[in-house]
Amino acid sequence: MLAIKQLSKKFGSLQALKDVSFTVQTGEIMGLIGQNGAGKSTTFHSILGFLKYAGKISWHDQPITEAVFDEIGYLPEERSLMPKLTVEQQIVYLARLKNKSAKEIRPQIDDWLAKFVVKGKRTDKIKDLSKGNQQKIQLICTLIHRPKLLILDEPFSGLDPVNVDLLEQAIFEAKKQGAAIIFSSHDMGNVTALCDRLIMLKAGQVVLNGRVDDVREQFGKNHLFVTTDWSQERLAQLPQVVKVTQLAARRFLLQLADPAAGPEIFRQLTQGQYIEEFSQQAPTLDEIFRMKVGEQDA
- Does residue 199 form part of some domain? yes
CB atoms within 10 A of CB 99: 11
- Does residue 289 form part of some domain? no
Which helix H or strand E contains 11, and what residues bound it? strand 2-11
Question: In this structure, are 117 and 161 located in the same domain?
Answer: yes
Give per-10-residue mean pLDDT for the chain (298 aa). Answer: 96 96 97 94 95 96 89 89 96 95 96 94 94 90 95 88 90 95 92 94 95 90 96 96 96 96 96 94 90 66
- Does residue 259 form part of some domain? yes
pLDDT at res. 295: 65
- Does residue 293 form part of some domain? no
- Does residue 47 form part of some domain? yes
pLDDT at res. 131: 86
Secondary structure (DSSP) of 234-295: HHTTSTTEEEEEEEETTEEEEEES-GGGHHHHHHHHHTTS--SEEEEEPPPHHHHHHHHHHS
- Does residue 78 form part of some domain? yes
Cβ(285)–Cβ(187) below 8 Å: no
pLDDT at res. 156: 87
Question: In this structure, are 108 and 134 located in the same domain?
Answer: yes
pLDDT at res. 80: 83
Question: In this structure, are 234 and 213 located in the same domain?
Answer: no
Cβ(253)–Cβ(245) below 8 Å: yes
Task: Give the range of the structural domain holding residue 88, as residue numbers without chain letter.
Answer: 2-217
The single-letter DSSP state of residue 146 is -
Question: In this structure, are 36 and 83 located in the same domain?
Answer: yes
Question: In this structure, are 255 and 277 located in the same domain?
Answer: yes
- Global pTM reads 0.84
Question: In this structure, are 160 and 197 located in the same domain?
Answer: yes
pLDDT at res. 160: 85
Provide the number of structural domains found in the chain.
2
pLDDT at res. 109: 97
pLDDT at res. 138: 92
- Does residue 286 form part of some domain? no
pLDDT at res. 298: 40
Question: In this structure, are 99 and 202 located in the same domain?
Answer: yes
Say which CATH number the domain at 98 has: 3.40.50.300
